[in-house]
Amino acid sequence: MITALSAVAAQVALLATALALRHERPRVVRPTTAHAPTPRAPSRRAVRAHKRATDRAFPDAVELVVLAVRAGYLPAAAIAVVTPHLAMPIRAAFDEVSARCANGERFADALGSLPRRLGAIAAPLADSFAAADRYGQPLAPVLERLADEARQHRRRQADTLARQLPVRMSLPLVLCTLPSFVLLAVVPLLLAALSSLHR
């Protein structure tokens, strides 16, 4: 009896599966003629944030590359050595240069990606290293100039931030000082006036 019931159950399950498969339409994959959606352009805020981060971090990157070259590394090796120690926007661009060099591209040609990724701030470094690689120009005077420019850029950034500090501090100063002034000077006077009215 149990075997007969299990045989019937198996037949019902087989029949249900067959019916389900019969009513299921086969999927046809058709190639699409429309293009894939284009990636959205970064917002203005993202572009400004990337530029600010690049402007802040690039002088340090130049200093590190100059130090590595002075320590005896070739320019391509210097970029590869300092890359892990750099801030993110700069690190990604330097990683690309190192990867392109590792794939067999000439160092002078790989440096072309720096101004594209980082903007005009990276052009002097890329141009001077490319000229040294292509034409054999000496790097010592170029490195001194790059290091001086990096220091001047950092100093200008610090001066700009120092000039903005009073403006940025005025709002917290007003928001903290005004309520405390009201609580310590005005509220006691109001309480004294109200207490004299009740007498």
pLDDT at residue 26, as a whole number? 46
Residue type, 12: V
Report the CATH number that the domain containing residue 120 is assigned in CATH. Answer: 1.20.81
Q: What is residue 120's predicted lDDT score, i.e. its pLDDT?
A: 87
pLDDT at 115 over 80: yes
Task: Please report whether residue 168 resides in a domain.
Answer: no
Would 185 be classed as within a structural domain? no
For tokens 């389900």, the residue is: 20
Asked if the structure places residue 73 within a domain, the reply is yes
Residue count of the chain, please give it: 199
Chain segment 127-151, per-residue pLDDT in tens: 888 888 888 888 878 888 888 888 8
- pLDDT given for residue 49 in this prediction: 85
Mean pLDDT score across all residues of the chain: 81
- What are 78-107's pLDDT values in tens digits? 999 999 999 888 899 999 999 999 999 999
Q: Is the pLDDT of residue 59 over 90?
A: no
Domain presence at residue 151? yes
What 3-state class would DSSP assign to 29?
Answer: coil
| 26 DSSP 8-state letter | P
Q: Do residues 89 and 50 touch, judged by C-beta distance below 8 A? A: yes
Element (H, E) at 119: none
DSSP structure string for 127-169: HHHHHHHHH---SHHHHHHHHHHHHHHHHHHHHHHHHHHHHHH
Does residue 186 form part of some domain? no
Instruction: Provide the phi-psi class of 119: left if phi over 0, else alpha when psi is between -120 and 50, else beta.
Output: left
Higher-confidence residue of 39 and 110: namely 110
> Domains in the chain: how many in total?
1
Any domain includes 51: yes
pLDDT tens across 173-183, in order? 888 888 888 88
pLDDT digits (tens, 9 = 90+) for 18-56: 545 454 444 544 555 555 566 677 788 888 888 888 888
Is the pLDDT at 111 greater than 50? The verdict is yes
Structural domain including 88 reads: 45-159
With a CB cutoff of 8 Å and minimum separation 6, the contacts of 106 are 133
Whether the Cβ atoms of residue 102 and residue 76 lie closer than 8 Å to each other: no
Instruction: Identify whether 77 is part of a domain.
Output: yes
Q: Is the pLDDT of residue 3 over 70?
A: no
Closest residue by Cα to residue 62 from 134, 118, 3: 118
Asked whether residue 11 is assigned to any structural domain, the reply reads no
